[in-house]
Amino acid sequence: MTASRSAVPRPDAHVHFGVFFQGVNHTTIWSDSASGSQIDFETFRRLVLTAERGLFDAFFLGEGLRLREQNGKILDLDIAGRPDAIAQLAALAGITDKIGLVATQNTTYNEPADLARRLSGLDLLSDGRAGWNAVTTDNAWTGENFRRGGFLDHSLRYERAGQFIETARALWDSWADDAISDSRTSENWSTPGAVGDVRRQTSQFDISVTPTLPRSRQGHPVIFQAGDSPSGRDFAATHADVIFSRHGTHFDGALDFADDIRARLRKAGRPEDDVKILPSTQIVLAENEPEVEEKARWVLEGQFTGQTALSLVGLVWGKDLSDRDPDGPLPEEDPVARPVSETRGSARDGNDPIAIAREWRALAEAKNLSLRQVAIETSQRSGFAGTPGQVADQLVHWVRNGASDGFNISPYLVPTGLDEIVDWLIPELQERGAYRTEYSTSTLREHLGLRPPLTRRTTSEAAG
């Protein structure tokens, strides 16, 4: 924070913002009186318009193909489904002018010809503002929704994803730049021979397609990717335009991640600034410094209700604890050493549950904590908390020192969770010369300062 301007790697870099709407989850305080519906259009409308008023780059929708479960039952704390992301974003395209619209879509349980067409449709309807968060999955419980079931081995998920994106790009490139006539006196609406067939025969796909849509002004939808494993990082360095990372809290870890991605980009033959990094983060603001700790604690306690705490601690103990008092002690019995349902992931992070229980009991005894208080105390703190000026300084430090290019903000309340960020934080960033004061570009690719799509670059553009 005290480094001189000349020592800062990117002294003029601006902070980019996206907003990530996840749907129901315990980090969104859906039970608060200020929270709106998680599925009504009004919630999406208000949130996206606030983000556009704040000159955000993108509105980013999560996607869920199956309701999450615990102990073989639908998780009551997390039951609301999500409207189809592309359908929702197409509706939002009609009420917005500039903000990018990013749909999370699965490469494991979609097909390239269909998904590329739907994404292209969103890109055209929004006049070049579409993005695609390309995700993979290998779990059988999602696969049960589909005829093939959990058909894809873990080792093949990125192989399929890479072939999927390469095929989608070929489909988007199949129309010539002058395919549509610009004259009403022409004999044909489209130039004869300007639309090419796409044939792909790979280990995952065997298709022959004549694509039905031309490209938008931005060339291709912007491709986001969120994998953090070595395979995921290599995949991003090869295929992505933007990385949606989980390194949005600790500067050193974020910088290590960004440095690793830059090294992988160089190895892949791309300029090291060819991918923008936008980690997921949470921002809690208070107008005055004495209020910061109280506000952060209020958010944390809202995220960890009694039932949520019992559910999360139950993942460690390997059993249903819903009949216990969350304000009582931790269970006296040791955890059950069995796999945790992958429908919710594991709270153990690969560690021995009995060792975790021993550590948590020692913490509870030392600080006289209840089960719920232990769940809060041992949770991973997410993001930034402070006054608008304090948080602005931190975000500028991150971006100008290369730890990220901006942040994908997960509001702890929807649809009101961006109000303070737009009204308090963004003016502080603008005063520091680190945030746009108006949209000077029109497409999502331009907002993010990205080069043309990988398959549509000149030699000089490819070299950076």
Q: Which residues are annotated as a binding site?
A: 104, 154, 158, 229
Adjacent-strand bridge partners of 69: 74
3-class secondary structure, 132 = strand
Report the binding-site residues for FMN.
104, 154, 158, 229
**Is 381:249 a contact under the CB 8 Å cutoff?**
yes
**Per-residue CA distances from 385 to 75, 281, 406 (Å):** 30, 11, 16
For residue 399, the tally of other CB atoms under 10 A from its CB is 23
**Is 248:407 a contact under the CB 8 Å cutoff?**
yes
| CA gap 244, 345 in Å, rounded | 19
| CA gap 444, 76 in Å, rounded | 37
**Is 135:223 a contact under the CB 8 Å cutoff?**
no
End-to-end CA distance of the chain: 29
Contacts of 368 (CB under 8 A, 6+ apart): none
| CA gap 416, 412 in Å, rounded | 9
The amino acid present at 330, given as its one-letter code, is L
Biggest CA–CA distance in the chain, Å, is 84
Strand pairing category for 100-106 and 130-135: parallel
3-class secondary structure, 303 = helix
| CA gap 436, 433 in Å, rounded | 8
**Is 200:113 a contact under the CB 8 Å cutoff?**
no
Write b or e for each residue in 298-318: b if 16 or more Cβ atoms lie within 10 A of its Cβ, otherwise e: bbbebbbbbbbbbbbbbbbbb
| CA gap 234, 228 in Å, rounded | 9
| CA gap 68, 176 in Å, rounded | 44
| CA gap 397, 196 in Å, rounded | 48
**Is 36:414 a contact under the CB 8 Å cutoff?**
yes
Q: In what order do the strands lie in the sheet with 222-225?
A: 276-277, 242-243, 222-225, 130-135, 100-106, 58-61, 16-21, 406-409, 280-281
